[in-house]
Amino acid sequence: MLAGAAAAAEPGSTTPLRIGVYQVAPYGGQGDGGLFVGASVDLWRRVAEHLNWQYQLMPVAQMSDLLSGLENGAYDVAIGAITITPERLARVDFSYPTHHSGVAAVFARRMGAASAFYDYGEAAGELGLLIFAIVILLTVIGVLMWWFERAHLSKTGTSASESAVTSWHEGVYWAVVTMTTVGYGDKTPKTHLGRTLAVVWMVGSLVLVSLLTTNLVARMTASRVESIVATRTSDLAGKRLAAVSGSSGAEYLDAERLAYQKFADLADALNALATGKADAVVNSVGALQYLVNTRFSDAIAPPRGVLAPAYMAFALPMNSVLKKPLDRALTIVTGSPEWRSVEETYFGR
């Protein structure tokens, strides 16, 4: 038995190599009629043809089963969405990198009037100190206007003009109308001091309104951008996270000590995000981009930014005799213009 296993692992052997295919779109899986498809499958076929290797493709649903199969000799090579990570390097070996990758996060799209009101309320809450200061200033200006305008009042506390400011609350009303540039004209200053204060307040109001408006717009815009971009671990803080068990996303979250919901496959995790049961899904960027674009584009924004850059590769048992010829063939095949055009059909430019 041992001799047979060794012979199967030798390059050029007539015994077909056992290739475990980790089933994650668009890297590997079985399509209609049981035919294996995917970027890693296409790459393997070109490499095997280049080396004249015979092989048998075998589907594997879980990363843990794939790694265990390599360790116990069930597979000679494993292909698919297999990211090179320190945890996996301790158990198996890897070939020359096959795909650029990285751990990324996706978030649900915010759409509709309810989302706009939510963003507005959130931005206004962050500007609470500025809004409070403006309210205090409005009150002070209103009271000052009434104080200055008292000289225009008769001994009975009334004014010959109905448009005069005769109380502090009328002064606050005038300050609000002036600040918002409504300009009803029903209350106007009559004294020199009152008119001087009015000029100062008109100019100051322009500054305050522009300051408040630009801050609101900037924070609402930042909120929309932050909802679809994550490039640091801090961008995930306070969010309900989801990841596929044993995936590179799960390993990243474990290393960062972040709690998350575990799912059997990526489609289930993205469905939880789309239905509001999670705030973000962390996984390899290529798999996220493909599934979001093909199945969840209406509910989930595509990944923008990478939390941890990485590479994918074919996995092999430790000290495999296949590694050296495999690395040479991968260097040749992945560097060809033909393969780059094929890869673009899966991931775009």
156 plus 166 within the same structural domain = yes
Q: What angle do CA 288, 104, 61 make, to 5 degrees?
A: 50
> What CATH number is attached to the domain comprising 170?
1.10.287.70
199 plus 184 within the same structural domain = yes
Least Cα distance to 27 among 76, 83, 77, 75 occurs for 83
pLDDT digits (tens, 9 = 90+) for 58-113: 999 999 999 999 999 999 999 999 999 989 999 999 999 999 889 999 998 866 55
Tell whether 103 is covered by a domain.
no
Last residue of a domain, one of 226, 257, 272: 226
Tell whether 140 is covered by a domain.
yes
Higher-pLDDT residue of 157, 56 = 56
220 plus 250 within the same structural domain = no
238 plus 342 within the same structural domain = no
What total number of domains does the chain contain? Answer: 3
Last residue of a domain, one of 209, 226, 243: 226
Tell whether 206 is covered by a domain.
yes
pLDDT of residue 345: 87
Confidence of residue 11 (pLDDT cuts 50, 70, 90): low
Residue 258 and residue 247: Cα distance in Å, rounded?
15
pLDDT of residue 346: 85
Q: What is the 3-state secondary structure (H, E, C) of 8-57?
A: HHCCCCCCCEEEEEECECCCEEECHHHCEECHHHHHHHHHHHHHCCCEEE
321 plus 278 within the same structural domain = no
Q: Contact, 191 vs 144, CB < 8 A?
A: no
pLDDT of residue 339: 94
Least Cα distance to 322 among 76, 21, 67, 59 occurs for 76
Q: Contact, 62 vs 327, CB < 8 A?
A: no
Q: What angle do CA 105, 22, 342 make, to 5 degrees?
A: 80
Q: Is the pLDDT of residue 188 over 60?
A: yes
CB-count exposure of residue 272 (10 Å: 0-12, 13-18, 19+): middle
274 plus 194 within the same structural domain = no
Higher-pLDDT residue of 327, 180 = 327
Q: What is the mean pLDDT of residues 164-191?
A: 86
Q: Is the pLDDT of residue 273 over 80?
A: yes
151 plus 186 within the same structural domain = yes
Task: Tell me the two tokens of residue 14.
Answer: 């007539």
pLDDT digits (tens, 9 = 90+) for 240-256: 999 999 888 999 999 99
CB-count exposure of residue 295 (10 Å: 0-12, 13-18, 19+): middle
Phi-psi region of 102 (alpha: psi -120 to 50; beta: other; left: phi over 0): left
pLDDT digits (tens, 9 = 90+) for 130-168: 888 889 999 999 999 988 888 766 555 555 567 788 888
Tell whether 305 is covered by a domain.
no
Least Cα distance to 123 among 226, 205, 204 occurs for 226
CB-count exposure of residue 250 (10 Å: 0-12, 13-18, 19+): buried
Helical axes 112-126 vs 128-149, angle rounded to 10°: 70
> What CATH number is attached to the domain comprising 23?
3.40.190.10
Q: What is the mean pLDDT of residues 264-279?
A: 93
252 plus 217 within the same structural domain = no
Q: CB within 8 A of 77, min separation 6: which ones? A: 17, 18, 19, 20, 44, 55, 314, 315, 316, 320, 322, 326
Tell whether 109 is covered by a domain.
no
Q: What is the mean pLDDT of residues 319-333?
A: 96
Tell whether 108 is covered by a domain.
no
Phi-psi region of 105 (alpha: psi -120 to 50; beta: other; left: phi over 0): beta
pLDDT of residue 7: 43
Tell whether 32 is covered by a domain.
yes
pLDDT of residue 3: 39
pLDDT of residue 44: 97
Tell whether 319 is covered by a domain.
yes
195 plus 258 within the same structural domain = no
Among 20-24, 126-130, 291-295, which is the least confidently predicted range? 126-130
Last residue of a domain, one of 184, 205, 226: 226
18 plus 80 within the same structural domain = yes
Residue 343 and residue 349: Cα distance in Å, rounded?
9
- Residue 227 DSSP class: T
> How would you list the strands of the sheet with 17-22, edge to edge?
55-60, 17-22, 77-80, 315-316, 93-94
Give me the domain span that covers residue 259: 228-295
